[in-house]
Structure 1
Amino acid sequence: MENYHGYTDSALLALIADDDELAFAEVYRRYKGVLFLHARRILGNDEEAKDVLQELFTALWTRRKSIDLKTSLPAYLYAAVRNRVFDVIAHRKVEEKYIASLATFIEKGEYVTDQQLLEQELSELIEKEIAALPPKMREVFELSRKEDLSYKEIADQLHISDKTVKKQVNNALHILREKLDMVFTSIACFLFL
């Protein structure tokens, strides 16, 4: 078995290009330690640093026939580690944004959705209770609350007195308040059981 310890990096790369696995093992032995420390120093994580090195050396072996270095082997390897470290950091940021977005959705999204659903159900319930009011009372109430007419305007439109309008609106509010209080009491009892 040949010892590649004394070979130059250029000689090792030429042998690797000819599929020499022992020359590849020598390059790995020479640079894995310093490259790992470099990656770990930036990433602060042993497993991610190991992954970076594995990807780097896998790519080096896969592209062994087409590697044409313009710099020294250590400079090439350091640049490759740096690029992969940047990829890991970018991936972390994407993950962190996704996790933050997911957390926001879980915290606020479901709450907002539940709250919107509750508001819609409440609105439908109020409309149902308004529809159940006696016809004249409902007409007065809707003119007051939905069309935002004054008591005088309603009285003029329906040819009744202001006092009758006021009494009809107050009666409608009293009926709605009683019915909705029962609903809110039921919801509260359900929520706090």
Structure 2
Amino acid sequence: MSIRENLGRFVRKEKNNGCCMKESSGEYSDSQLLVLVQQGDKDAFTLLYNRYWDKLLVYVMRAVQVQSDAEDIVQELFISLWKRRESLDIRSALSTYLFNSARYGAIRYIEKNITRSNYLEFLSKTTPAAPAADQALALKEVSAQMEEVVAGMPERMQQVFRLSREQHLSHREIAAQLGISEETVKKQIYRALQLLRARFGDIPSALLVYMTLYLFF
């Protein structure tokens, strides 16, 4: 049984016998679903889960690149959301909160599975004058350099890249929004990553993804 099915079992186990929300999640806004979830409505939680599972999974997969591990991260996000529902204090858009939570989950995974010393070694080469105590400043400088590269990209490439990394849209969603093919979206993102790689040297692909997650957003 897949992790998604296991999470579905978790939702059904918690489900009230008398709940009967409409099946289409499109009839409820994120804020409406969140209020219902905070009140313990299991159907609302299921609708929220169905609305965001695939998007969050695609987002996390970009970083961890292992399907089962990405599913674990998203699963833990939703289970934590449910268990902490009564104490949640979300002041941003719910989508922003969920994607930020997914990002931090991916970062924790990467820190455990990709030697952080490799990243720090890269950072020391990029900003050799920065002592350990000024690491936060060094990270900020690298982030600014990444933004400079993105800002200098051709208009269409930059548009595609920002929709992918900032708004967390899938290739299909970007293609539909811009009226281009999914293949064009993939090529634009690939070329954008090539420009970033050219700026920061010959670094592993996983490390480059880590940088875009940890620094750019």
Q: TM-score, normalised by structure 2?
A: 0.42
Q: TM-score, normalised by structure 1?
A: 0.47
Higher relative contact order (CA 8 A, sep 6+): 2
**Which structure is higher in helix share?**
1
